[in-house]
Structure 1
Amino acid sequence: MLIKLDTISTNPKQLVTKAKRLDGSGVSLNELMPPRFIQMHSKFASLDILMEASGFNVKTPADFKAIPAREWNQFIALNTNFESWQDMLSEAGRLYIHKQLFT
Structure 2
Amino acid sequence: MENNELIALIFSGIVTLLVCIYYMDKKHSVCCECDEVISHRKQNRYFLEKGGERLALCKKCYNRTNKQASLKAQNCSCCNKSFTTRMKIAELAGEFQSYFLCVKCEKQISKRAESTFLLNQLLSPDFIQKNSSFSDLESMVESSGIQLKTQDDLKLEVWDEFITANTSFSCWHDMKVSAETLMLKKQNDRIIRDMWDQ
TM-score range, shorter chain: 0.7 to 0.9
Larger radius of gyration: 2
Give the count of matched residue pairs. Answer: 90
Distance in 2, matches of 1:11 and 1:31, equals 20
Q: Residue deviations 1:46-89, cap 9 Å, x none?
A: 1111111110123x32xx52366221111001000000000001
Report if the CA contact (8 A) 2:147-2:153 is conserved: no
Amino acid in the other structure paired with 2:187? Q
| Cross-structure match for 2:183 | 96
State TM-score, norm by structure 2.
Answer: 0.41
| Cross-structure match for 1:5 | 78
Structure 2 SS opposite 1:43? coil
**TM-aligned CA distance change 1:68 to 1:93, over 3 Å:** closer
1:42-57 correspondence to structure 2 within 5 Å = 42-57=132-147
Amino acid in the other structure paired with 1:32? L
**TM-aligned CA distance change 1:57 to 1:37, over 3 Å:** same
Amino acid in the other structure paired with 1:51? V
RMSD: 2.3
| Cross-structure match for 2:174 | 87
Kindly state the Cα deviation for residue 102 of structure 1 after the two structures are TM-superposed: 1.6
**TM-aligned CA distance change 1:96 to 1:67, over 3 Å:** closer
Report if the CA contact (8 A) 2:128-2:135 is conserved: yes
Percent sequence identity over matched residues? 30
**TM-aligned CA distance change 1:31 to 1:67, over 3 Å:** closer
Report if the CA contact (8 A) 1:4-1:102 is conserved: no
Unaligned runs of 5+ in 2: 1-75, 80-98, 191-198
